Amino acid sequence: MSKYENDVKQLLTLIGGKENIGAVSHCMTRMRFVLNDPSKANEKEIANIPSVKGTFTQAGQYQVIIGNDVSVFYNEFTSYAGIEGVSKDAVKNAAQTNQNLAQRIMGALGEIFAPIIPALICGGLILGFRNIIGEIDLLQNGTASLTDIYPFWQGVYDFLWIIGEAIFHLLPVGIVWSITKKMGTTQILGIVLGLTLVSPQLLNGFSVAATPASEIPKWDFGFAQVDMIGYQGQVIAAMMAGFVLVYLEKFFKKHSPEVISMIVVPFCSLVPAVVIAHTIVGPIGWTIGNFIGDIVYSGLTSNIRIVFAAIFGFVYAPIVMTGLHHMTNAIDTQLVTLYGGTMLWPMIALSNIAQGSAVLAMTVLQKKNERAEQVNVPACISCYLGVTEPALFGVNLKYVFPLICGMIGSATAAVISIGFGVQAVSIGVGGLPGILSIFSQYWGKFLLAMAAAIVIPFVLTILVGKKKLPASELVGESKPQTESAAQTESTPQQSAQPQEAAADVNKLCAILSGKVIPIEEVEDDVFSQKIMGDGIAFQPSDETVVAPCDATISVVMDGSRHACGMALPNGMEILIHIGINTVNMNGDGFEAFVNTGDKVKCGQPLIKFSKEKIAKAGYSDTTMLIITEQGNAKNIQFHTNIDAEAGKTVVSEFE
């Protein structure tokens, strides 16, 4: 009997059978399926398979999280199913056929905005703080603000604007850069094009509306005149300009001889792109952006705004599950540009809170279900902090009724928010910290909406859950032991040896030189939500991964060489994963120095990678160190936000 025979049989049946599999592959931790009919996959039952740690759908791929042993599981699965696996690129290409045009557009939009969102959140918090110290009359019986009384706070208020201006006024630079990064073209050309859209020689885009047409400066070419208008804060215009540059560069790269491409491609791409941006796509994008912003603003301020708010609040969570929510980032930014604030973002933050409250109720209902709590607790925390996908896919959608209860609470909170005209200074942190982005004069009203988003979903989920949840879901069911576990229990003399050696293993050293960051900051939900286990991440300054301690190599990712697993004497198992989605590079830029079964010493080189190639492929080189099995270790502590030296700096300690 193979190790995962029963699990493999269950998964094949629950995923819809062999005929429902369009393609299958695997990375270091996950099985990646392209399903002919995704609706046939029984996600609830798949999540209950003993070896499955979770499931989610991303970019048309149905991903089943297995863990370090995924290669063994994959081999047994393909053998039993009688199918052949394919490359990661083939799975990715096949997955695109499962997406309609709208999904592909939203997916691209999400990838463009993902690198920019941290800056937008930071900018929103800064504008909110400036609003508190400069616009709220807290002193002298409500007649003066901090900046009116104290020169220090006036200095802080003025100084912080350089960050706010850089983020919101120069936003087109970030957008065009992100497009070139995603499309794999020359990023510095994107930055230069973005800078031409916000040049100080142009009339600032935020001043255009207040400037008479006769006073707008122009370029005079004799036969034609072009308005010298900047595109500060404009999203659609910047995106259109970015794609013009990308396709021009790809065209000239394809048709230019290699010997002169260094000269021809940049010049023939950038110059026409700048001309087209300022004469054609810029004005068109400006008009489209203003039209979208005006339509949404009309809905938010019209006589039917309560209906608009109720519908938006109710459907936002399902919109997140489709990926269409990325469009709201562009709309929010446009609203801030046009009207100096946005009423859309507060409703989004409230939706996060409502779904998190539904998960909180599930945590209370399932407090005796240990397996459920491993998902519920981190999902609830992340949702309250603005990241909803783990809560939506891992909990609420699984049981359906928490999702509906959260949607009802979100709709109610949205009505309260819009009814009082609550506005945010910009996009900010979602969930509970969302109040920091709200104009201070609306804090009391937003707190009322937050209360509705917390109480209503929680109470509804508790009431419905007590009736709908079976006893097995409330207290959990014991999982059947895997063969390896049974063998461990049946041979106590063998298990004693690792325990004996455990005293010699009580710390992990840095696997790379660079900055150590909390795992929660990694831009991949499987890691940041600790689905695979707790750990830390590295922003590397070098390119050689070393062993964090004396251990045995349990697995090396064949082909891609971007990850490896290690087994420690005390029973602990750890995973080292270089980069995010770097499995798609198929080993290009990676060199492994060890093989499965090798015994290594602390500081010994394991894998070398190319930061340049990872960046050129459009991926992050953030590297994770994850404890996938705790073994006999206790009181595990991690040291983050420090600069580490590979093989020397202690980053984790345990007993």
Evaluated on CA atoms 197, 201, 207, 210, the torsion sign reads: negative
Torsion of CA 10, 15, 21, 22, to 10 degrees: -150
For 446-507, the DSSP string reads HHHHHHHHHHHHHHHHHHHHHHHS-HHHHH--PPPPPHHHHHHHH-HHHHHHHHHHGGG--E
Q: What's the per-residue H, E or C state across 193-244?
A: HHHHHCCCCCECHHHCCCCCHHHCCEEECCCCEEECECCCCCCHHHHHHHHH
* β-strand partners of 227: 218
As a whole number of angstroms, the distance between CA 35 and CA 153 comes to 58
Q: Over the range 163-183, which residues count as b (16 or more CB within 10 Å of their CB) and which as e?
A: bbeebbbbbbbbbbbbbbbbb
Asked if residues 30 and 524 have their Cβ atoms less than 8 Å apart, the reply is: no
Of the candidates 439, 433, 432, 438, which has an alpha carbon nearest to the alpha carbon of residue 453? 432
Burial, 653: exposed, middle or buried (Cβ in 10 Å; 0-12, 13-18, 19+)? middle
Torsion of CA 457, 462, 467, 471, to 10 degrees: 130
Q: What's the per-residue H, E or C state across 154-192?
A: HHHHHHHHHHHHHHHHCHHHHHHHHHHHHHCCCHHHHHH
As a whole number of angstroms, the distance between CA 514 and CA 609 comes to 15
As a whole number of angstroms, the distance between CA 266 and CA 120 comes to 30
Catalytic residue numbers read: 27
